[in-house]
Amino acid sequence: MRIGMGYDVHKLVEDRKLILGGVDIPYEKGLLGHSDADVVVHAIMDALLGAAALGDIGKHFPDTDDRYKGISSIKLLHHVGELLRENNFKIGNIDATIICQKPKLAPFRDEMVKNVAKALNIEESRVCIKATTEEGLGFTGEGLGISSQAIALLEEGLNENV
């Protein structure tokens, strides 16, 4: 078994959509980034890539490459899932936390879990996405940005001949 940890943060700005877990969340601001800036999916990708010792999302999807400008992070997550399978890894589970003051994310949690599980071709029971505030403290508490942390467990030897 292997464990990986991921973290991501993006600034909240006007005139951008707020995409979290592949869900378009109605809100007055969105996250600034080269792709759709989906912090929870980015943290999950880094946790998975780290557990497999395959680098990070910057290595696989650099922000200097126009192919990834505005791209859905769920599409990138699907690619990470393919990389894991190619390297004989099976996802044990994923646990992610989104840290933001607003908006409230509980109504969107189930759809986020479905999107992540579908992109990785795993059971929804292997994915947990939570949200918390920082009680008005720090940049997330002040509404300046949103961050996310994730941890993932991988099992080695997906293929029988490994």
Q: Confirm whether residue 10 is marked as ligand binding.
A: yes
Q: Confirm whether residue 35 is marked as ligand binding.
A: yes
Q: At what angle do helices 109-120 and 39-51 cross, to 10 degrees?
A: 40
Quickly list DSSP for 83-104: HHHHTTEEEEEEEEEEE-SSS-
Q: Confirm whether residue 140 is marked as ligand binding.
A: no
Q: Confirm whether residue 62 is marked as ligand binding.
A: yes
Q: Confirm whether residue 89 is marked as ligand binding.
A: no
Query: Do 29 and 146 meet the contact criterion of CB atoms below 8 Å apart?
Result: no
Distance CA 61, CA 97 (A): 22
Q: Confirm whether residue 63 is marked as ligand binding.
A: yes
Q: Confirm whether residue 139 is marked as ligand binding.
A: yes
Q: Confirm whether residue 15 is marked as ligand binding.
A: no
- 3-state class of 30 per DSSP? strand
Q: Confirm whether residue 46 is marked as ligand binding.
A: no
Q: Confirm whether residue 134 is marked as ligand binding.
A: yes
Q: Confirm whether residue 133 is marked as ligand binding.
A: yes
Quickly list DSSP for 107-127: GGHHHHHHHHHHHHT--GGGE
Measured in degrees and rounded to the nearest 5, phi and psi for residue 30 equal -135, 180
Q: Confirm whether residue 60 is marked as ligand binding.
A: no
Q: Confirm whether residue 9 is marked as ligand binding.
A: yes
Q: Confirm whether residue 108 is marked as ligand binding.
A: no
Distance CA 74, CA 65 (A): 17
Q: Confirm whether residue 110 is marked as ligand binding.
A: no
Query: Which residues fall in the annotated binding site?
Result: 8-10, 34-35, 42, 56-58, 61-65, 132-135, 139
Q: Binding site for a divalent metal cation: which residues?
A: 8, 10, 42
